[in-house]
Amino acid sequence: MTILVTGCAGFIGAHFVRQWLAAEGEPVVGLDRLSYAGNLASLFEAGRDARFHFERGDIGDAALVAALLRRHRPRAVVNFAAETHVDRSIHDAAPFLASNVEALFRLLEATRGHWAALAGADRDGFRFVHISTDEVFGSLGPGAAPFDESSRYAPSSPYSASKAAGDHLVRAWHRTFALPGIVAVLTNTYGPAQFPEKLIPLTILNAAAGRPLPLYGDGANVRDWLYVGDACAAIRAVLRRGRPGEFYCAGAHNERANRAVVEAICAILDRRAPRGGGRAHRDLIRCVADRPGHDRRYALATGKIERDLGWRPATEFASGLEATVAWYLANGDWSESARSGAYRAWMVPNYAERGPA
């Protein structure tokens, strides 16, 4: 048996492939169109593993997806493929609708055709796992209980609206066509080899280079930070034991204000890569104008996934952040290629000087 992983060369998708091969041993067919944030180098040793087969292409290419499904007959599809950066969606929403809604629709239809042709245990055991984000729920009030599977959808940005639409498609294809779809909702995920437009890698690389560290607004926006290894373990649990038609939220219990995260990175760099003249990295922080529609707080409850699937986050934020900073410092070639044209780096006009997502 095998599984099909779309968006396999992106941040979480690449980590998932590597973890899956190491922990489960089951072959993987990976599909990725290798956009600006997708790179096979992120797969590291998985790219040389005989159990991994890569195809370059778009999930919106129904003929390609159908051919892959016929050829490899996977028992599951895990969909990471998406446009994900909020700032980019504010600048131009069209690619987000094309990838996160229209292409997802075509992937669902191709998968439905494959699943409908299965019989017996193959049909009963098939799963379509779709990866979503806590941003579909909008902004969480101070002191409010974390979002959970019953929370109302209230997306604030073009990105989160496109992801919300995708979640509804997966749910509708289950309700209408009985496609065994499951949605895994993740909170903010971080770790090694994340494209440096997100808060943590962008801060690490800018601070290490002595560049200013732009921080949106007052820096008090709160996020719940989930280490990428824990995120992948949650998705594995959803694939193994999740029930079709269900949503599962994977949070980390690591709520931190953005300013606190940036200052923690600065403190690590003060130890690992000190600036000259005894200067502190935190002196590089610059508060800038906030971005439109910036949600104040995200957090996800984990009761359902812990109770039903036996998963819980294992990585404390301090140790995960330390490991992440160490990885970027030790992998300058990867980071440089990500920041240069070699990795198709692209900063959003009018937002490049303002800050990360």
Is 328 annotated in the active site?
no
User: Coil, strand, or helix at residue 142?
Assistant: coil
CA 134 from centre of chain: 11
Core vs surface per residue 205-222: b (16+ CB within 10 A) or e? bbbbeeeebbbbbebebb
Q: Of residues 159, 248, 298, 328, which has the active-site annotation?
A: 159
Kindly tell me the number of DSSP H helices and DSSP E strands found in the chain. 13, 12
Q: Of residues 135, 148, 224, 255, which has the active-site annotation?
A: 135
> How far is CA 186 from each of CA 42, 170, 189, 299, rounded to the nearest angstrom?
20, 16, 7, 10
Neighbours of 102 (CB within 10 A): 16
| Lookup: tokens for 219 | 């820096």
Q: Of residues 58, 83, 87, 134, which has the active-site annotation?
A: 134
Is 159 annotated in the active site?
yes
* CB proximity list for 198: less than 8 A, separation 6 or greater: 85, 190, 356, 357
Is 306 annotated in the active site?
no
Catalytic residues: 134-135, 159
